[in-house]
Chains A and B, each alone.
Chain A
Amino acid sequence: MTVLFEDIIQPGATWSHVLKRGTAIRMTDIEGGVNAGGIFYNWESPTERYNMPDTLKAQHIAHLTRGHVLYSDMGRILCSITEDTAGWHDPLGGCSNAATAEAKYGEARYQEHRNECIKNPYDGFVVELAKYGLSARDMAAPVNFFSKVVVDKDGNMQFVTNHSRAGTMIELRAEMNVLVILNTCQHPMDPKPRYGPKPVSIVVRKVPLPASDDLCRLSRPENTRGFILTERYFA
């Protein structure tokens, strides 16, 4: 399939793109141990956005992998996970903000550290949202790609270290025209005490629309209905 463009999202950076229906983004962990936070909006009507609880309860999941889809709050599918070699991406952990990042890593300003300064994902997301006329009011619960947080029978959350290795990749197929905002800051539960975000490579390419026997469409009856509702939107 035709590659449209490629990029490397630098460590601790924020990146955005309106991913068109009929295209897909492949993210690859270059060094191992990357975290890529992601939030997703219907570009034509951004009050429709990725909804964490709707995604979890429609599919009875607390993790994301191949065959799962990302639901909007309007019963439609923003993106499908068509490829995944990690086996688990975290929808629960959220992102750090200025206060939690400074408490964990201290302060490193641009004045002294230039582009190695410490950044936090909440502010990264909100500044990027503002470029599209959106604001902190529109901030959604991010997915943390390449990260794993397990929950035990008592509800305790545990970050799993060394989950993603160099070369681990995930592909998201856009089922709508989706504003995608990614941020490569560390996962907020990453126990490493030092600030050390990593880069992720991305490839955006054209892909066919999902066929009648598509894996994500048939993965469960809820998703079959989700695809019907998404296709009605474009009818």
Chain B
Amino acid sequence: MKYDSIIPAGEPWIYEILRGQYLRIVDVEGNQAADTLFYNANDYEDRYSAQDTIRSQANIYLTTGTRLMSSKGNVLLTIVADTCGRHDTLGGACSMESNMVRYAIEKRYMHACRQSFVKAALAWSRGLGGALEKRDITHNINFFMNVPVTPEGGLRFEDGLSGPGKYVEMRAEIDVLAVISNCPQLNNPCNAYNPTPIRVLIWDPTD
């Protein structure tokens, strides 16, 4: 095993995954949203695109077989195993600002995913001339989250389908930079109102 780490709730994580390597994200205690972004490691302006990913498979849910598409039409990673069954990419990441709109203006001071995304991007960019900053934070994947859409055009945040030990596994098709915010949201059921750790494993196909 090349890499094995626990990400506590509310923490950012950023790491490069090379072509051919596998990434597994484990929902250790269950019902924990892992907000995730990917970038082409050789061209950061070529990045994960939620719209291109769902359109290319004509389905809004991500699961085994889903190719995670970039804004320039490249396959970043392919989901090769999934014991949860459904992951969201329409719900986006929580932010202090969107919490004010969704719940109450007083919710501004609660920790949120986009704080973690920006923190990770700025830390990674240090010495890279601002290669990643707030403008690069786009629409993410919410692994283990359940956001169904109705035929009438409605959208709901529902209790997750995930449970303790469920995991999703991807193979990198090109070198990618992965950014995760282990979601701290306390205002909706995306983390069962109790944010918990996730585990991240990376290995080479020869391991």
Contacts and interface: CB of A to CB of B under 8 A. Distances in A.
Contact of B73 (A58, A97, A157, A222): A97
Contacts of A226: 101
Interface string A89-120: 00011110111100000000000000000000
Contacts of B4: none
B45 interface: yes
Nearest to A47: B135
Interface stretch (B8-16, B46-54, B161-169, B195-203): B46-54
7 contacts: A53-B92, A62-B90, A71-B101, A94-B49, A141-B51, A153-B151, A157-B60
A193 interface: no
Interface residues of A, number: 52
Interface of A: 46-47, 51-54, 56-58, 60-63, 71, 73-76, 88, 92-95, 97-100, 122, 135-142, 150-158, 188-189, 222, 225-226, 228-229
Given A57-B157, A62-B149, A63-B153, A222 B101 contact: yes
Nearest 5 interchain pairs by C-beta: A53-B92, A94-B51, A75-B97, A63-B153, A99-B73
B154 interface: yes
Contact of A92 (B90, B101, B105): B90
A188 B157 CA distance: 27
A51 to B, nearest CB: 7
Interface string B83-118: 000100011110111101110110000000010000
Nearest to B58: A157
A95 B44 CA distance: 19
A136 B74 CA distance: 15
Contact of A139 (B71, B95, B153): B71
Nearest to A95: B51
A46 B133 CA distance: 13
Given A138-B135, A153-B151, A225 B157 contact: no
Interface residues of B, number: 48
B101 A155 contact: no
A26 B62 CA distance: 36
A136 B45 contact: yes
Interface in B3-54: 44-46, 49-52, 54
Contact of B92 (A54, A88, A95, A139): A54
A155 B66 CA distance: 13
B91 A225 contact: no
A95 B56 CA distance: 11
B98 A52 contact: no
Contacts of A61: 153-155
B151 A151 contact: yes
B136 A137 contact: yes
Given A57-B102, A151-B60, 18 more contacts: A53-B91, A57-B98, A57-B157, A60-B154, A60-B155, A63-B153, A92-B51, A92-B54, A92-B90, A97-B73, A122-B72, A141-B50, A141-B138, A151-B149, A156-B59, A157-B58, A189-B58, A225-B101
A38 B198 CA distance: 37
Contacts of B46: 136
